[in-house]
Amino acid sequence: MTSTLTISHLTKAFGGVKALSDVSLAVEPGERVALLGHNGAGKSTLMKVILGLIAPDGGEITVCGAAPGKARSQVAYLPENAAFHSALTGLEQITYYMRLRGEPVSGAMELLDRVGLGHAAKRRIGTYSKGMRQRVGLAQALIGHPRLLVLDEPTSGLDPVSRRDFYELLDGLAADGASILLSSHALTEVEARTDRLLILSGGRMVAEGSLPELRREAALPVSMQITALNGYVTDIMSALPDAIRLNGGLHLSCTQEDKLATLARISAMQEKVADLEVIPPSLEDIYSHFSRRDGQ
């Protein structure tokens, strides 16, 4: 399988300040990849290089089998703050973009329906909320069935229902073979809706992999919340001396290596335990771990 996006040892500096340093990654067809990092980590610079808006200082990059900027008909981009002509209606704006891309304008209304704007298609964009303008941007990004979608904070301004609908739309695009690279600070969103995570810090790729892979690499402790049956709190604390009382229950942390052994000890007391909740490290925990490791 040929990667939709391939980057090898990419570097970029501005006035002697390195924005990207030895960055390598690949995005496969049908893969949803989240690009994470603090402000100034290099995410925007990386996206601009991928789009062909700025040239790298070193390294190699291939986008849809071509150099950046040479396959623009196969690449879509949605910026964090999409701007449109306020006097145009949503339908007029999308129709205009479809003409620019040589696509049949008859499909404009269908695109607006896909992003939940069919009811407002003939209203002027100047009357749209930020979330509605963001959906116009998503509609224009879908023109022409792009092979690669580069999305910068795509759910900015969207309400919870619209965010859910947005990720369901991305799921469908990925199922059809589109590659998706999205940048987001909303870690709880991307935790469950992406296949792989890339963490940039100080211009370097400090971590890459699926969430389970990053959990194993970070080796952060696993938390357990134990609810004891009435009268058995003392017995459980005697068997688990590291447990502490917290929020009406017992809280316990253990290493990844000790997780199964700890669960076995709790299972042996099942007649004294009313409930058990195992809480693995969240994406926010993992992100903080790798960012701190890089000195950020």
3-state SS, 37-98, equals: CCCCCCHHHHHHHHHCCCCCCEEEEEECCECCCCCHHHEEEECCCCCCCCCCEHHHHHHHHH
**By residue range, what is the domain housing residue 115?**
5-215
Examine the domain organization and report whether 63 and 172 are in the same domain: yes
Instruction: Answer yes or no: is pLDDT of 108 > 80.
Output: yes
Characterize 200-210 residue by residue with b for buried, 16 or more Cβ atoms within 10 angstroms of its Cβ, and e for exposed.
Answer: bbbbbbbbbee
> Is 285 part of a structural domain of the chain?
no
Judge contact between 87 and 124, C-beta under 8 A.
yes
Instruction: Answer yes or no: is pLDDT of 295 > 50.
Output: no
Q: Which of 169, 187, 215 is the last residue of a domain?
A: 215
Examine the domain organization and report whether 136 and 196 are in the same domain: yes
What pTM was estimated for this model as a whole?
0.85
Examine the domain organization and report whether 155 and 200 are in the same domain: yes
CB atoms within 10 A of CB 269: 16
> Is 227 part of a structural domain of the chain?
yes
Examine the domain organization and report whether 116 and 258 are in the same domain: no
Strands of the sheet containing 179-183, edge to edge, are: 75-78, 148-152, 179-183, 32-36, 196-201, 204-209
Helices (H), 176-258: 187-193, 211-218, 233-239
User: What's CA 255's distance to the chain center, in Å?
Assistant: 27
Per the prediction, the chain carries an average pLDDT of 91
Examine the domain organization and report whether 72 and 86 are in the same domain: yes
Examine the domain organization and report whether 197 and 252 are in the same domain: no
Model confidence at 296, in pLDDT bands (50, 70, 90)?
very low
Examine the domain organization and report whether 89 and 184 are in the same domain: yes
> Is 121 part of a structural domain of the chain?
yes
Judge contact between 123 and 2, C-beta under 8 A.
no
Examine the domain organization and report whether 185 and 246 are in the same domain: no
Read off the pLDDT of residues 216-244 as tens digits, 9 standing for 90 and up: 899 899 999 999 998 899 999 999 999 99
Q: Which of 215, 233, 253 is the last residue of a domain?
A: 215
Instruction: Answer yes or no: is pLDDT of 190 > 90.
Output: no
How many domains are contained in the chain? 2
CATH number of residue 229's parent domain: 3.30.70.260
Q: What is the three-class DSSP state of 131?
A: helix
* Sequence letter at residue 19: A
Instruction: Answer yes or no: is pLDDT of 2 > 90.
Output: no
Examine the domain organization and report whether 116 and 185 are in the same domain: yes
The share of the chain scoring above pLDDT 90, in percent, equals: 67
Higher pLDDT, 130 or 277: 277
The residue to which tokens 């089998």 are assigned: 65
Instruction: Answer yes or no: is pLDDT of 74 > 80.
Output: yes
Examine the domain organization and report whether 103 and 228 are in the same domain: no
Examine the domain organization and report whether 200 and 253 are in the same domain: no
Per-residue pLDDT, averaged over 45-52, amounts to 94
